[in-house]
Amino acid sequence: MTVVSVPTMFADLLGPISGADILSWDMTEAPERADEIELVVVPPFGARWLRRLEELPALRAVVTATAGYEHVQPHLPPGVVLANAVGVHDTATAELGLGLLIAAQRELPDMVRAQDRGEWLAPRVRRSLADSRALVLGYGGVGRALAARLRACEVTVTAVASRARAGDDHVERVHPIDALPALLPDHDVLAVTLPLTEDTRGLVDTAVLAALPEDALVLNLGRGAVVDTDALLAELTAGRLRAALDVTDPEPLPQGHPLWSAPGVLVSHHTGGSSRAFPSRGAAYVRRQLERYLATGSVDHVVASGPRRALAEEA
């Protein structure tokens, strides 16, 4: 029997898997049978205990329960592969992204504050998603899921990824990253869905933000450090751009940080994938990965191997 560990939240949902001896382990304490564990599914909120991976001499593969993996990569023992949770959070994150866009465009935070005051706001024409133009930067699972929802809202969607490729049901084609500067001025929304890698860190910088038109909205559903916080704050403070941020840099956002009080900002506290859909979808993904490993000795969606050796996931 192959010994594998999974977070407690998935253990009951998985049920038995032929050929696997499944241990429930949240990494808060030393594991049982540490010498035998070959595959670990990392808990979604267990970053502080990742050093325990070094205590597993038989370890061959690590699977995250999240799309993000940069927090796990530095703790990988040599030769151990890392796979992330592709597809698990796409729907929930895109759902939140759409909600943030609607809230920001229709100014729902102002309405909530007015309700708290018991004040009826005077009617006026507000922004909308309909007939707007959105550029989705990073056209992986979350980007495609967001594009599908934007199309349903009658938004014109442009996709940009690391390389050019054919389109799909939502976009005519996917533009390469070097086309980004020329595309930005024609869009009302820049939606960032990129993972954090050496290539994407700080990608949305002063020049990228300056290329957006006046009153454009920056939505970040990827990782906070993909966007240069100082550059974004400069645009927000000047009142030229607005932002809806599920992720920030730094994170958690400290009390008193200027992003909290900058004009035109809506923050949702990195809650994109945290929905009631997560446990069942996460468990189904873990089952597929375990069955794959038991059948082949490998896992799907490998993004890294050993300490700090990135294999670059498609954006």
**80 exposure class (CB count in 10 Å sphere: 0-12, 13-18, 19+):** buried
In the chain, DSSP finds a helix count (H) and a strand count (E) of 9, 14
What residues contact 15, with CB distance under 8 A and at least 6 apart? none
Query: Residue type for 254, please?
Result: P
Task: In whole angstroms, give the CA distance from residue 57 to residue 34.
Answer: 8
The DSSP secondary-structure symbol of 160 reads E
Q: Could you give the CA distance from residue 193 to residue 96 in angstroms, rounded to a whole number?
A: 12
Our answer to whether residue 270 is catalytic in this structure is yes
Question: Is 89 among the catalytic positions?
Answer: no
The residue annotated as part of the active site, out of 52, 75, 149, 270, is 270
Gyration radius of the chain over CA positions = 21
Catalytic site residue from 60, 170, 175, 223: 223
Strand order in the sheet with 189-192: 165-166, 173-176, 156-161, 133-137, 189-192, 217-220, 242-245, 265-267
- Are the C-beta atoms of 64 and 83 separated by less than 8 Å? yes
CB 75 within 8 A of CB 50: yes
3-state DSSP assignment of residue 132:
coil
Active site residues: 223, 270
